């Protein structure tokens, strides 16, 4: 194993341990992890859209307010939190006069709210299952897409945005997500409707990946930052979650209301 690969493996294991631990405890620890990730992602978003450093830091400060309100010791996922997200969006928009930078507030806040909504469901075991479902599908999609793409190859999915992605990889990611979804239904009691929708979340995760790839290509960079040795930035690790988590929350709310 090369030094670079060893570093990537060690950092990857640490990230997994931290994520699983916070997910298991839920509540304040899970919120805190999401807040730290969200503020860092807002900073990386600012770098990718090419705003001055002062505006980038201002946006990081602004997004911290709605993320703070989402704390389970404060308002949590509520209409007040939605109001703070909207307020932070318009504050950044009017202060920086940059729609691109302001959109980062939504890019960060919406998936954080979605994951907190899922993890906060009662009983606690249900919340843990729902949040794990949303996250594990993204992991499964990445793994399935990687191996199917390498083994099968074939036509490119979006060659101008991400030359390495193929339609075979997308199919492999969808299949892997469906397998995980139905395993969670069989052994953990995930509602069958959500298990069946797992493939849709896989597509959303791939679209989130393509969005970030497009942003990096426009910015002329390989990674969103160099914060995580061997892994790039926080956005590089969570681009699929950003798209999949809100869809997972929406599907759960629709099924729960049905």
What secondary structure does DSSP assign to 223-254, as a single string? SS-SSBTTTB-HHHHHHHHHHHHHHHHHHHHH
Say yes or no: 112 and 152 in one domain.
no
* Domain limit, last residue, from 103, 119, 135: 119
E strands present in 65-207? 156-158, 162-166
Angle at 214 between CA 251 and CA 45, to 5 degrees: 75
Say yes or no: 132 and 245 in one domain.
yes
pLDDT digit string (tens) for the chain, length 258 residues? 566 667 777 887 888 889 999 999 999 999 999 999 999 999 999 999 999 999 999 999 999 999 999 999 999 999 999 999 999 999 999 999 999 999 999 999 999 999 999 999 999 999 999 999 999 999 999 999 989 988 998 889 888 888 888 999 999 999 999 999 999 999 999 999 999 999 999 999 999 999 999 999 999 999 999 888 877 899 999 999 999 999 999 999 998 654
Listed in sequence order, the residues at least 6 apart from 258 whose beta carbon sits closer than 8 Å to its beta carbon are none
* Domain limit, last residue, from 83, 101, 119: 119
Say yes or no: 148 and 112 in one domain.
no
Cβ burial of 243 (10 Å; 0-12, 13-18, 19+) is buried
170 assigned to some structural domain:
yes
Say yes or no: 100 and 166 in one domain.
no
3 assigned to some structural domain:
no
Which domain range does residue 134 map to? 122-258
21 assigned to some structural domain:
no
* Domain limit, last residue, from 90, 119, 148: 119
Q: How many domains does the chain have?
A: 2
Cβ burial of 159 (10 Å; 0-12, 13-18, 19+) is exposed
2 assigned to some structural domain:
no
Say yes or no: 161 and 218 in one domain.
yes
The predicted pLDDT at position 2 comes to: 63
What secondary structure does DSSP assign to 38-93, as a single string? HHHHHHHHHHHHT--HHHHHHHHHHHHHHHHHTSTTTT-SSHHHHHHHHHHHHHHH
188 assigned to some structural domain:
yes
């Amino acid at each position: 194993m090369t030094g670079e690969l060893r570093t990537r493996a060690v950092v990857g294991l640490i990230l997994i341990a931290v994520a699983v631990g916070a997910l298991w405890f839920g509540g304040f620890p899970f919120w805190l992890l999401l807040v730290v990730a969200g503020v860092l992602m807002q900073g990386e978003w600012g770098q990718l859209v090419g705003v001055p450093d002062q505006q980038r830091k201002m946006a990081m400060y602004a997004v911290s307010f709605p993320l703070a309100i989402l704390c389970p010791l404060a308002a949590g996922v509520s209409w007040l939190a939605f109001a703070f997200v909207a307020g932070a969006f318009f504050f950044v928009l009017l202060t920086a006069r940059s729609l691109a930078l302001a959109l980062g507030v939504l890019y960060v806040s919406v998936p954080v709210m979605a994951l907190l909504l899922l993890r906060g469901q009662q009983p606690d075991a249900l919340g843990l299952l729902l949040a794990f479902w949303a996250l594990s599908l993204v992991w499964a999609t990445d793994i399935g897409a990687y191996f199917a793409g390498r083994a099968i190859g074939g036509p490119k999915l979006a060659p101008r945005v991400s030359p390495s992605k193929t339609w075979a990889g997308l199919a492999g990611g969808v299949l892997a997500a469906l397998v995980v979804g139905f395993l969670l239904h069989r052994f953990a009691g995930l509602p069958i409707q959500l298990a069946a929708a797992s493939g849709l979340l896989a597509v959303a995760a791939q679209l989130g990946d393509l969005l970030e790839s497009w942003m990096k290509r426009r910015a002329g960079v390989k990674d969103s930052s160099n914060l995580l040795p061997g892994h790039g930035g926080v956005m590089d690790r969570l681009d699929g979650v950003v798209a999949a988590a809100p869809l997972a929350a929406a599907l759960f709310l629709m099924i729960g209301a049905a």
